[in-house]
Amino acid sequence: MPIEKVAIVGAGIAGLAAALAFARHGIASDLFEQAPHLVEVGAGLQVSPNASRLLGELGLLSQLEAVWTEPAQISLVSGTSLRALAHVPAGDYARNRWGAPYGVLHRATLQRVLMHAVEANPLCTLHLDTAVRDAPHATLARLTGVAYPLVIGADGVWSNVRTAIQGSPQPSFSGHVCWRFTFPDRLVPSWLKTNQVTAFLGPSTHLVAYPLREIGGFNMVAIASGASPGRTWDAQANDSQKRSLYGEFRRWDSRIVHLLRQTEQPTFWPLFEVGTGRWHNGRDTVLVGDAAHAVTPFAAQGASMAIEDGFTLARCLAESRDVPQALAAYESARQPRVAKVRSRGTFNRFAYHARGPIRLGRDMVLSLRPPEALAADLDWLYGFRAG
């Protein structure tokens, strides 16, 4: 008989989106989150059309449109000269070309909208302050008295559920650290456009900036090499660490360093990747989101891939009466897609952080590409329809 209820471990974007995707197919879910309340961590988030389309299917797009910003374009700019190199049109162009919008907002805002939708859905039950650390099926049976036919690990990079799957992928530190800066609208310089996402490309690092309506200012994220501070999303930088970061920008335009020094206390976190391996145990346990395939943010697709996962898994289970068969179909559908996104991120990292003659060649090639051609290169990514 069709599956009636699943257990989801982790109530981040991956877990909440999966629960709502299951509910669309009439499948109930119990979500278990170890935190006593969902905290607002992380930085801004880019929601590309492949994900916003799915959020629209959940009936959440109007709520997001009320608080997010739809940039007119995604612009690539030289970090050493502030010269515009190329841009991908967004705004109305994104809606027309890919059938869904491109928006930017705070990660916590998306999580909050998803959580409220889960709380309002009679097929979804959220259990906070409930840790599932070892032997997920046995732990959940002890906590709830329910023998779930499927446990879904949506518990992130350092997943506990993943340990129950033999041959599952393992996390590793990428060697990069993500730094977040915020500053109010009154500090926005004339060279920083308020109607676009701007990616500043520089030697060995890059910086992405865009407005966040929720904070009445700008969000800036720098990706640079560095040592891991451990399992954290919100490390506070000391003076030595800040000096080290500013040193990464020593060959950049001085106006960028001047702006960074004016911003609020930066926070940072390590960028971990989860490599290749099995995403399910062939019976009753499966992974979604970062637990299965955490990638570095060079393609800005972490949250989008998690949302796609939930929709695909829900469809596979709804269409099959056999859970192992559905899990195999899910993995077969998603692994090539994630691998392609990972490959694009690797390419972007090389291109964004290029130095010397390679940087000059990159700038020349980008300047020769018309916006429509750059947009066409993203059709496979933004035009994708999951689930």
d(CA 249, CA 222): 10
Q: What is the pLDDT of residues 126-152, one digit of tens each?
A: 999 999 988 999 999 999 999 999 999
d(CA 254, CA 380): 37
Closest by alpha carbon to 105, among 72, 74, 68, 73? 68
Topology given in CATH for the domain delimited by 5-70+100-171+274-349: FAD/NAD(P)-binding domain (3.50.50)
Q: Decide if 148 is catalytic.
A: no
d(CA 245, CA 237): 10
Identify any residues that bridge with 217 across adjacent strands, giving them in sequence order.
184, 212
Catalytic residue among 93, 102, 148, 210: 210
Q: What is the pLDDT of residues 287-315, one digit of tens each?
A: 999 999 999 999 999 999 999 999 999 99
Residue 109 has a pLDDT of 93
At 126, the amino acid letter reads L
Residue 2 has a pLDDT of 73
Residue 1 has a pLDDT of 57
Residue 105 has a pLDDT of 95
User: Structural domain boundaries of the chain?
Assistant: 5-70+100-171+274-349
How far does CA 162 lie from the centroid of its chain?
19
Q: What is the pLDDT of residues 69-110, one digit of tens each?
A: 999 999 999 999 999 999 999 999 999 999 999 999 999 899
Q: Are 9 and 161 in contact (CB under 8 A)?
A: yes
Mark the ranges of the chain whose per-residue pLDDT is less than 50: none
